[in-house]
Amino acid sequence: MAVVFKKSPVLADVPLHYCPGCTHGIVHRLIAESIEELGVADRAIGIAPVGCAVFAYNYFNCDMQQAAHGRAPAVGTAIKRVHPDSIVFAYQGDGDLASIGAAEIVHAAARDEKITVIFINNAVYGMTHGQMAPTSLPGQVTTTSPYGRDVNHCGYPIRVCEMLCTLEGNQYMERVAVNNVKNVLAAKKAIKKAFQRQVEGKGFSLVEVLSTCPTNWGMSPQEALKWVDEKMIPYYPLGCYKGGDK
Amino acid sequence: MSKILMKGNEAIAEAAIQAGCRYFFGYPITPQNQIPEYMSRRLPQVGGCFLQAESEVAAINMVYGAGGAGARAMTSSSSPGISLKQEGISYIAGAQVPCVIVNMMRGGPGLGSIQPSQSDYYQATRGGGHGDYRCVVLAPSTVQEAVDMMAEGFDIADQYRIPVILCGDGMLGQMMEPVEMGRYTPRKLPEKTWATTGMGSRKTPNIINSLYIDAAILEQKNAELAAIYDEISANETKWESYRMEDADYMVVAYGTTARIAKSAITKIRAEYGIKVGLLRPMTLWPFPSAAIAEAAAKVKAVLTVEMSTGQMVDDVRLAIAGSKPVEFLGRSGGMIPAPREIIDKLVEMAGGKA
Ligand SMILES: Cc1ncc(C[n+]2csc(CCOP(=O)(O)OP(=O)(O)O)c2C)c(N)n1
Ligand code: SF4
């Protein structure tokens, strides 16, 4: 029988706890494959966030530190300074990165830290049951915006790549999605590039991944994938914002 | 080695470097600014890394990262900044990451003042952040002692995998005194086989983590930590006993307040013939409760002096358990007790002239 799919050895052999149809798992796979293909698993050090991906420290076959809510870029900064030859990656949700950890991500990017950040934008706080995130769309109904996000009351959602790409330096920032095969392939390319750049000693890299949370969006997995296309991508255009092929 | 004249804050920074600290993360705040300033000059000279963080929150999380990665790392701050670090310190305690934190205490609450204070005693000795944990708390009263304690502090941190806080006050940081580096003999310490260095040829990943979602497992973890805290209490409690041999009254004071108490004791003995001694906790946690109880048994009454409205006095009362009267004298907000105030209080306790 021909092997059509083999799980990356950089993913631990344990079941993931994510909800059915959640795309966190796909992003884990893309990270693991990138690390494997670049042959850097033995010097990779990952940082797990506070959020649905908190157990990421059990899912990657490499050294891991779990960080306080929003502080992964600070933790990663220090790890990279201690072990400059390591490949440091932080995995963060949108509440984690764009709200409570807004200062840490801005300053890690501003210092052009040689770390890779994978940023999961699913437009809600997943783990705490779907509250409004800094990325929730205008009008989006969440458990703390039951009448829909009112931009006159709490402002507009933050576009992280657009905001960070104004910084000076050698950073790479790209927004991708994982809601169909074509987008997953493009996401893989971007994530691998983010790691590749770190291997080459280049600066900060961040890949924002538009991700689904069918559980808190109150949708089927299919509907959630469609919602990414219809609602998220128009507000969060895909593409490279900084550090394209140069 | 010969003595050199150094400012407290700079001596502390140099002692850290000599103890092998190569990573410093901090954010400016008075009255500890000479520590990061010194570090920013010196660390690059010894192949280390000084990084001015975007906030105290970031700084303590950088310490968590560097300490978890196996390096000797530290941060320093003063009261409001130390408050901001508390969540990080709790994670550090939970994940058992060794590190050293310096708090040059200033008057509070709130923005308070920039003058010396000891009003972060509760915060330092009770964990400070959330959860069942302790930090080892060292309380030097001279610049020399601060230097020695910095060196030992890094060893204690590594030996027990615990955050160590050096609690000074603004006075200690600003005063200049002759110091000798390298007086402390380093301990033999275990290899940091748990650190996140990248797996290399190691077969299983190292994970630095404080999450134990299963309550029964977290309870087990808390019990393990409590056992380490018991071991530290048994091995690392330190105090100084000064003129206690013939004392009828005991002063309990720490840090620079203890120095003021010593001059008061010399004067009161000479002027009034009242026999007063001093018991000076050198570790605030673990607290020298047994030594205080034993010494209290031989005196008529106890006076606790602090630059606060009364924090350590609780521990003194707990130690003595009501067996002797415990009086309190405190100045706060950045005000410093004068020897005369201490003398007057002791004379009053002794019922006038002895
Ligand atoms: C200091 C602090 N505040 C709040 C929380 C509670 N909390 C846990 S997860 C979470 C939200 C995470 O949402 P996000 O980063 O969007 O990740 P997701 O779960 O959606 O993947 C919050 C607020 C916490 N653990 N620590
Ligand atoms: S709550 Fe949402 S983000 Fe979290 S695992 Fe479930 S679907 Fe994924």
CATH of the domain at A153: 3.40.50.970
Residue A17 lies in a domain: no
Residue B83, pLDDT score: 98
Each residue's pLDDT tens digit, A172-184: 999 999 999 999 9
Q: Is A83 part of any domain?
A: yes
Q: Do A68 and B199 touch (CB under 8 A)?
A: no
Residue A2: what pLDDT?
Answer: 87
pLDDT digits (tens, 9 = 90+) for B17-71: 999 999 999 999 999 999 999 999 999 999 999 999 999 999 999 999 999 999 9
Residue A220 has pLDDT above 70, yes or no: yes
Give the gap in angstroms from C-alpha A137 to the nearest C-alpha of chain B.
Answer: 29
Report the SS3 class of residue A239: strand
> Does residue A110 belong to any structural domain of this protein?
yes
Using the atom order of ligand 2, give the atom closest to the CA of residue A19.
6
* Strand (E) or helix (H) holding A118: strand A116-121
pLDDT band at A238 (very low <50, low <70, confident <90, very high): very high
* pLDDT given for residue B352 in this prediction: 81
Mutate to test the pocket of ligand 1, among A22, A128, A215, A217 (most ligand atoms within 8 A of CB): A128
pLDDT of residue A1: 78
DSSP-H helix ranges across A85-141: 94-95, 102-110
Domain total in chain A: 1
Q: Set out the domains of chain B in order of their start, with CATH numbers.
A: 4-236 (3.40.50.970), 240-349 (3.40.50.920)
- Whole-model pTM above 0.80? yes
- DSSP category for residue A43: G
Nearest CA to ligand 2 atom 7: A213
- The domain of A195 spans 24-242
pLDDT of residue B267 exceeding 60, the answer is yes
The band of B353, judged by pLDDT with boundaries at 50, 70 and 90, is low
Cα–Cα dist B351/B267, whole Å: 17
Residue A170 domain-assigned (yes or no) = yes
Q: B301 by DSSP, 3-state: which?
A: strand
Residue A11 placed within a domain: no
Atom 6, ligand 2: residue with shortest CA distance:
A19
A122: tokens are 């699913």
| Contact state of B211 with A66 under an 8 Å Cβ cutoff | yes
How far is the C-alpha of A62 from the C-alpha of B204, rounded, in Å?
8
Nearest to B66 among A48, A66, A82 (CB): A82
Nearest CA, atom 1, ligand 2: A126
Give the mean pLDDT of A87-113. 98
Within-domain flag for A235: yes
* Cα–Cα distance measured from residue A187 to residue A26, given in angstroms and rounded to the nearest whole number: 10
Percent of chain B with pLDDT over 90: 98
Task: Let me know if residue A33 belongs to a domain.
Answer: yes
Residue A146 C-alpha to ligand 2 middle, in angstroms? 19
CA-nearest of B149, B128, B140 to B171 is B140
Calculate what percentage of chain B has a pLDDT beyond 70: 99
pLDDT given for residue A245 in this prediction: 64
Give a yes or no: residue A7 inside a domain.
no
Coil, strand or helix at B112: coil
Q: Cβ distance A78 to B65 under 8 Å?
A: yes
Residue A13 C-alpha from the chain's centroid: 22
ipTM value:
0.97
In angstroms, rounded to a whole number, what is the distance separating the alpha carbons of residues B115 and A187?
Answer: 55
Q: pLDDT band for A244, please (50, 70, 90 cuts).
A: confident
- Of A199, A152, A214, nearest in space to A20 by CA: A214
By percentage, how much of chain A surpasses pLDDT 70?
Answer: 99
Is B341 a residue whose pLDDT tops 80? Answer: yes
Q: What is the tens place of the pLDDT at every residue in B151-181? A: 999 999 999 999 999 999 989 999 999 999 9
For chain A, say whether B20 makes contact (Cβ under 8 Å).
Answer: no
Q: How does the average pLDDT of chain A come out, rounded?
A: 97
